[in-house]
Amino acid sequence: EAGVTQFPSHSVIEKGQTVTLRCDPISGHDNLYWYRRVMGKEIKFLLHFVKESKQDESGMPNNRFLAERTGGTYSTLKVQPAELEDSGVYFCASSLSGGYQETQYFGPGTRLLVL
């Protein structure tokens, strides 16, 4: 069974440009999460989808970030326009049924560098 995949693995862009990150969850997983780790800091939650609906987007830092999950399969996270402080590693995770006991399976992450 394929794991969570993310694309691209690395992205280097200039401040003010737009970047779109993609996540493909494990097949059949209704729950999809985005997290981010800024250099030297904790991994922080961004948002949670259940199928195509946003269940919790309390961690989204500002309106420059837009996440979508059309059709309840893959998800995209767009940063527009990118700022220097957006640099970090963006992780996607998925789980089958959600809940406090459920394991979230992580992808390898996308390393974003904004110059």
Contact 90, 21 (CB under 8 A): yes
Of 7, 55, 59, nearest to 38 by C-alpha is: 59
CB-wise, 9 or 80, nearer to another protein?
Answer: 9
CB-wise, 22 or 44, nearer to another protein?
Answer: 44
How many of the chain's residues bind another protein (CB under 8 A)?
28
Of 37, 32, 62, nearest to 47 by C-alpha is: 32
In the chain, what are the helix, strand and coil shares in percent, each to the nearest 5? 5, 50, 45
CB of 12 to another protein, least distance (A): 18
CB of 31 to another protein, least distance (A): 7
Give me the residues that bind another protein (CB under 8 A), please: 4, 31, 33, 35, 41-45, 48, 55-56, 58-59, 91, 93, 98-109
